[in-house]
Amino acid sequence: MNIATFYPQHATLQQHIDYYYFLKADSPDFQTTYYAYPNTAVPLSIHKSAVYEIKEHYTSVQAVKNGPAAALIQRSFQSPLLVRLQGPIDKVTICFKPCGICNFINQPFQEIAPADSQAFTGWAQVGAYSSLHSQFFATDSNEEKVAMLEAFLLSVYAPAAECVQVEKATAWLSDFNDNHSIEAIAEELNLTTRSFNRLFLKHMSISPVAWKKIARFRHSLKNKLFNERFKKLTEIGYDSNFYDQSYFIKVYNKLTGSNPSAFFKSIEKLADDRLIFRFVKE
């Protein structure tokens, strides 16, 4: 399995997309199973030729020869997602920043992704999308692929005022130096709390309270893996605004299926350390 990571080149795309990664496995016997964990990013994966099965907390993708194109998308889910890949996988994943994808689709994200994982049909009516797919997987040059992908994304780019509001809200919700309340954020946006919750759900497909828990989890994860000044789990918890150690453990059990100590011992980092998976031995 080869994974290559690239970052948006165009300034406009840098505002809304964190990174791209290409995953390719040439062997027809390839298979891997892993757990993916709750994230504030929204991954959209486009497969060259594949069939898939989606169940609650489980997604399986089987690469097939001369089969249909397949595109899958996940919202910010709140429990570990078991993923199984089989066959000669050839795919690109676009990792959108929070609410970033809302600038590239013409309907609310809640309608695009009402479940944790599903087929993506947001560009089905865009003629350039089918052309992109055929040309994209016809070249072996990742640099050419990035250029094609960015040209397409810019062609469907349509920023909206509501997206700007929600992006501001996600920035405040993930600022753990100043613990912004939902009510304070709503007031800052000149909205009632009820209207803010409705707006957030419309464009994020998750409530702001639930999303903040995920953001707090990812903040603590980043501190543990990449910040050398944090040595103890208790320090990590306090820095990410977990109220006490028992709450810290409770949230990790909910979002990862294990306590913090066991979780950190089991995970692996991929794609410039941006993907955090726990591989399941077959």
DSSP letters for 132-155: HHHHHTT---HHHHHHHHHHHHHH
What mean pLDDT is predicted for residues 179-188? 93
pLDDT at residue 231, rounded to an integer:
57
Residue 133: pLDDT over 70: yes
Pairing state between β 81-86 and 58-63: parallel
Residues 282 and 263: their CA atoms lie apart, in Å, by 19
Angstrom CA distances, 25 to 22, 86, 207, stand at 10, 9, 37
Residues 221 and 37: their CA atoms lie apart, in Å, by 11
pLDDT at residue 229, rounded to an integer:
55
pLDDT band at 211 (very low <50, low <70, confident <90, very high): very high
Pairing state between β 117-119 and 70-74: antiparallel
CB-based contacts of 171, cutoff 8 Å, min separation 6: none
Domain 161-270 part of CATH 1.10.10.60? yes
- pTM for the structure as a whole: 0.92
Q: Worst-scoring range by mean pLDDT, 64-68, 151-155, 172-176, 222-226?
A: 222-226
The one-letter amino acid code at 248 reads: F
pLDDT at residue 10, rounded to an integer:
97
Q: For residue 32, count other CB atoms closer than 10 A to its CB.
A: 16
Q: What is the DSSP string of the chain?
A: -EEEEE---SHHHHTTEEEEEEEE---TT-EEEEEE---SSEEEEEESSEEEEEETTEEEEEE-TT---EEEEE---SS-EEEEEESS-EEEEEEEPTTGGGGS-SS-HHHH-SSSEEE--TTTT-HHHHHHHHHHTT---HHHHHHHHHHHHHHT----HHHHHHHHHHHHHT-SSS---HHHHHHHTT--HHHHHHHHHHHHSS-HHHHHHHHHHHHHHHHHHH-TT--SHHHHHHHTT-SSHHHHHHHHHHHHSS-HHHHHHH-EEETTTTEEEEEPP-
Burial label for 29, CB within 10 Å (0-12, 13-18, 19+), is exposed
Residue 107: pLDDT over 60: yes
